[in-house]
Amino acid sequence: MNKRMYKKLLKEARIDWLFNHYGTIKRGVYADYMNRYPKDWKEVRKYLKHTRVFKQVNRDVHTHYKHPDYDEKDSFLKCIKIRFANLIDYYFEKDIINRTLFNLCFD
């Protein structure tokens, strides 16, 4: 697989993971991540607009929400970990059709 296709797949997997885990990540860390990487926020916002929590998440991002036990270093490390995690396995486990197409094209 060439580098461009791999990077696109990583981005899709990261966006999918962020959309599915908006309730399990601390609100302050989620808001920090979205403020640091606005292109990811733009993509996630497309999916979140159809959910009932969109107003809360959007307000958190715009107001730079910080939870009571906010630690800037810890938040930075979690954002970096999310950004550079290899989430392709998660993406393929979630959707069997993508996995079979991937295997047919690149094996």
48-79: pLDDT as tens digits: 888 888 888 899 999 989 888 888 899 899 99
Shortest CA distance to 49 belongs to which of 83, 19, 80? 19
Decide if 37 contacts 83 (C-beta within 8 A): yes
Look up the pTM and report it: 0.79
Which residue ranges make up each domain of the chain? 3-106
21-31: pLDDT as tens digits: 888 888 889 99
Both structure tokens of 58: 């959007």
